[in-house]
Amino acid sequence: MRAFAALLANTLRQLAGGWRIILLALMGLLPAAVLAVLLADDRTTNTANKAWEAFHQAPLTIMFFIVLPVVSLVFGTAALGDERRDGTLSFILLRPLPRLVLAGAKLLGAWLATLTVVGVGAICMSVVLGLRLSEWASMGPLFLGVALSSLSYVSVFLVLGYLTQRAVLIGLVYAFIWESGMTTAVASLATVSLMRVGLSAYAGLVPTSRIHLAELLGTVQPGAGGAVAKAVVIAVLAVASTTALLRRRDVT
């Protein structure tokens, strides 16, 4: 347990260093800033329905289609990728640590770093809406939604960051061509979208949002339970895959 805590703390320090965390934190606040601008225009948000519509258009789209994948990509690929590129991974692997512990600590650290950024951004979005409508029902579901999507993204990007030095480029292609393009254009592909894991959880907990999110969700059915299960399975598979890769490195 001490080894896990030490690895987790070291991962968080590694990911939070330098200007990276500042730039990503500013990106995380972008959806809330956009929402504040939209809600400041009384001509377009003079009713509660229009305010909710504004919340579910540009701000929510920016959060799930841009902020979430980018922040998850940066932290997920760096958790093991930076260690391997800098040569520090070899020193860590010299210690008698179970590879499962190392993989789990790296995943949890990357997820917590990501959730700190996108979670604060999601809370700020709900605060902006709450101050306008005195309605706070979106806060918990939205936080859960970004937590599940970020866990799914980070899990995939953790393995990708270990496997290749081009992980960021591949991740950007995945996020902006596959997620934003293919899974939106081809409805049947929406079920394998990591972004829609969290979005379906949010829609399942906030039924009034479904009319605004129907096009984004595509064929994905709203539901928090299924989204949680899917995110957990992805995380478990990622930890198992990373553990196997680390053990293979020991053998070779």
Mean pLDDT, rounded, for 218-238? 92
The percent of residues above 70 in pLDDT, for the chain, comes to 94
- Residue-level pLDDT at 88: 77
- Residue-level pLDDT at 113: 94
Domain total in the chain: 1
- Residue-level pLDDT at 155: 95
Residue 115 has pLDDT above 90, yes or no: yes
- Residue-level pLDDT at 84: 78
The percent of residues above 90 in pLDDT, for the chain, comes to 43
Mean pLDDT, rounded, for 217-228? 88
More confident residue, 169 or 191: 169
| Integer Cα distance of 175 and 56 in angstroms | 20
Residue 122 has pLDDT above 90, yes or no: yes
pLDDT tens figures, 58-92: 899 999 999 999 999 999 999 888 777 777 777 77
3-state secondary structure the chain: CHHHHHHHHHHHHHHHCCCHHHHHHHHHCHHHHHHHHHHCCCCCCCCHHHHHHHHCCHHHHHHHHHHHHHHHHHHHHHHHHHHHHHCHHHHHHCCCCCHHHHHHHHHHHHHHHHHHHHHHHHHHHHHHHHHHHCCCCCHHHHHHHHHHHHHHHHHHHHHHHHHCCCHHHHHHHHHHHHHHHHHHHCHHHHHHCCHHHHHHHHHHHCHHHHHHHHHHHCCCCCCHHHHHHHHHHHHHHHHHHHHHHHHHHHHC
Residue 180 has pLDDT above 60, yes or no: yes
Residue 2 has pLDDT above 90, yes or no: no
Domain that holds residue 159: 2-251
Residue 97 has pLDDT above 60, yes or no: yes
Q: What is the average pLDDT score of the chain?
A: 86
Residue 252 has pLDDT above 60, yes or no: no
Mean pLDDT, rounded, for 98-108? 91
Confidence of residue 187 (pLDDT cuts 50, 70, 90): low
Which among 95-109, 169-183, 197-211, 232-246 has the top mean pLDDT? Answer: 232-246
Confidence of residue 108 (pLDDT cuts 50, 70, 90): very high
Confidence of residue 215 (pLDDT cuts 50, 70, 90): confident
